[in-house]
Structure 1
Amino acid sequence: MSHFTHMKTRFQNLFYLEKALNRLNISYTQQLSNSDSYHTNLVIPQSNGYDIQFCWSGETYELVVDMSFWEQLYPIENFIDKIAQQYAGEVIIGESQKMGFQPVKYQQNSDGSNTLILERWNNDK
């Protein structure tokens, strides 16, 4: 018997969530939400057929998974942490660019942390 777990996240922006998954080389597909035709869910396929989903809850994208069939390289907590770290970096880059900053360096360090350097030139004379 399947028991789906719904894990709350702070992922609110689909664009940044997709960028985070891409940066981590996590394959996914888009699927229209069953409950809300304005939002898209993300499906991460697993070879056992029990896919992982990020489903729009009305406020955030919740991770929906049957824990009995978890087939990823990392435990679920590490999986979410890695995505959250990349998501945060993508939000910082994207929102900073709206204010005129440009990323100069984005580096993943051996200790698991990320280094992000942004710059903005003052064109006022």
Structure 2
Amino acid sequence: MSHFTYIKTRFQNLFYLEKALNRLNITHEQSITDPSLKSYNTNLIVSQSNGYDIQFTWNGQEYELVADMSFWEQSCPIETFIDKISQQYAGEVIIGESQKIGFQPIQYKQNSDGSTTLVLERWNTKIK
């Protein structure tokens, strides 16, 4: 008998969430709710070998992580899993939103203590 756990997140942008999962080498696929409906959503599925997949499901405000904790099969506890994704997601948001205003990433480094160093630059193109 499955008992799904719904964990709130701060992931609101599918593009950045997918980039974060890719950076962490977490294989996933998109699942689109019934496209014949007037309003449909794209969810992300992380397959597990035991068949009890993990989903990031849109609840109208954010992507909730949905999983049956009895069948958690990832290499780290769920709290660590979410923390890792959150850290990468934040980095992707910073890079993406900064690029919109002219910044370019010049360094993205994962430090040995688990932190990330991100360096951006923007050149002043308006010469007087």
TM range, smaller chain: over 0.9
- What SS does structure 1 have at the residue aligned with 2:6? strand
Name the CA distance, whole Å, in 2 between partners of 1:2 and 1:104.
Answer: 46
- The one-letter code sitting in structure 1 at the alignment partner of 2:113 is D
What whole-Å deviation, never above 9, does each CA across 1:13-56 have from its counterpart, x for those lacking one? 00000000000000001001358843200000000000000000
Matched position secondary structure for 2:84: helix
What's the TM-score, normalizing by structure 2? 0.94
Amino acid at match of 2:126: D
Q: Is the 8 A contact 1:54 1:63 kept in 2?
A: yes
Runs of 4+ in 1 over 4 A off after TM superposition: 34-37
- Structure 1, unmatched stretches of 5+, are none
Following the alignment from structure 1 to structure 2, what is the Cα–Cα distance between the partners of residues 37 and 43? 20
C-alpha separation between the residues in 2 aligned to 1:96 and 1:9?
22
Q: What TM-score results when the alignment is normalised by the length of structure 1?
A: 0.97
SS of structure 1 residue aligned to 2:89: helix
* Structure 2: stretches of 5+ with no match in the other structure: none
Deviates more, 1:33-42 or 1:103-112: 33-42
Q: How does 1:30-109 map to 2 (within 5 A)?
A: 30-33=30-33, 37-109=39-111
State how far apart, in whole Å, the 2-side matches of 1:55 and 1:97 are.
27
Structure 1 residue aligned with 2:9: 9
Per-residue deviation, residues 98-118 of structure 1 (Å, max 9, x unmatched): 000000000000000000000
User: Structure 2 counterpart of 1:66, which letter?
Assistant: D
